[in-house]
Structure 1
């Protein structure tokens, strides 16, 4: 299928056609394979839709300049319009940049939220202001401005082709992206997925995230929502999830998981259980206090 600007998106649908739909959107540098555990565990009782963001996985590598928050929203909108049956809104789940995509979609297409989404899960994500809140290589607060300038200067280097296998990258990922107690196989799997991401997709959306200095409004997301956060997340720290949760009109719960930034890999069973619970027929919308688990 194609997005609004003609970019071809790779979409996969697993499970029964008549089952409740769950749409999965992955984070930057990854692909729909990041959700493999959730796809495997949910497809027996659900219709699971997963897609690759432009420049990632098997989706088309768009031209430079076509990697913006608006493109994130438009791509998700195209997927929902094509795969979510009329009158049967889906559960949407977004990890990291995938969560940003859902927030961007809700802000850009407010009139379509009720028709396409019955509930949402935001996993290890943030509404924006990323550089100011990451918990690695921070240095003194007085140098924050200089760090911003350096990051924006070097961001284009993310588009340089890299080898598929790179031991230094894997060690860096293990330190930054996953929790210290995560199984080594998770770091290996993440490195394999990232190594397969196109240079242009990596550079385009990497630069977009570095320059995302404003925040998307979580209040635009007007359906029941669960927020899943990692206590050891250095990329989208717990405080960012707490900020989102506080602004959501229909917060179900904020769940704190024993993970780093990759809860769908590190705490796969807990994430799957949260998605399965969201897809349950509740009969009416929910608005309840924050819970932690």
Structure 2
């Protein structure tokens, strides 16, 4: 992993994986997968969002891997997974299925946490056989199922066609982000983070986002622009908890409320004051705690003789 993709020290420096592997998706795409923590421990699968990478989950991996087996992977074109011409919600679902099949044993169930596009990945995979076989519970962080550009408040304009058009142009821009400068940090903080975000949080997010190739960023922006996963929400049959930042401009809390209303089994919605879109980085303890609680409640340990 390039040094440009993450900070090198502190709580947001990604820990070294116990094991790395490549999962092969349905169309042959090769996905970089990391496994952290002890074998046989309750499993957690982490799916990151648009322009991010496994490094985005550094705080959760560091904490959870003490007593969980944490599986994190890079989405297509992100981190150490090569780019692919196939950019679609179907491809996202294929990839999650491939990761689950490659890392979990028959009948093994895991908590699956998805942030932003990672949450959309979970919704897209809701009816897939591997997802239904392995998902014990789900945590959705700062995500939406449709109308992402129309509901975004990145631009301080009245809702309507003009704001939607301008937002789409900004999010879908081909312009390079360039180096991480003080101005770049301010722009990223305004667009993606809340007023409570500390400088080290902003630095960690900026390094990760700026490392995403602009062609990849542009390609996936079109998928997000056309997103319609409302039916996928209704097909999520496992317990689902939702975390949203009250100051999220990319996926405002209106999305969390709509998803909660449509879910068959919503076990809670939390809106975090002062927090923006980057909830796992901005509120690492709260996100980690919810993953832990879901694992404790919904992953049942095998009998001792079976484990042996």
Fold in common (TM above 0.5): yes
Gaps of 5+ in 1: 285-293
The 5 Å alignment of 1:149-228 reads 149-152=165-168, 157-158=173-174, 160-212=175-227, 215-228=230-243
Change (3 A) 1:128 1:88: same
CA shift, 1:153, in A, is 5.5
Match of 1:53 in 2: 75
Match of 1:78 in 2: 98
Change (3 A) 1:102 1:9: same
**Does the 8 Å CA contact 1:128/1:216 hold for their aligned counterparts?**
no
Q: For residues 217 and 270 of structure 2, what CA distance do their matches in structure 1 show?
A: 30
TM-score by length of 1: 0.88
CA RMSD of aligned residues (A): 1.9
SS at match of 1:188: helix
**Equivalent of residue 285 in structure 2, options 261, 265, 269:** 269
Q: For residues 68 and 127 of structure 1, what CA distance do their matches in structure 2 show?
A: 14
SS at match of 1:9: strand
Gaps of 5+ in 2: 1-22, 301-308
Q: For residues 274 and 34 of structure 1, what CA distance do their matches in structure 2 show?
A: 17
**Does the 8 Å CA contact 1:55/1:61 hold for their aligned counterparts?**
yes
Q: For residues 49 and 112 of structure 2, what CA distance do their matches in structure 1 show?
A: 14
Q: For residues 226 and 162 of structure 1, what CA distance do their matches in structure 2 show?
A: 33
**Equivalent of residue 237 in structure 1, options 235, 241, 252:** 252
Q: For residues 87 and 33 of structure 2, what CA distance do their matches in structure 1 show?
A: 18
**Equivalent of residue 28 in structure 1, options 40, 46, 50:** 50
CA offset digits 1:63-95 (Å, max 9, x no partner): 3xx111111111111111111221111100000
How many residue pairs get aligned? The number is 277
CA offset digits 1:178-235 (Å, max 9, x no partner): 1112101111111100111122221111221123267453111000111111111111
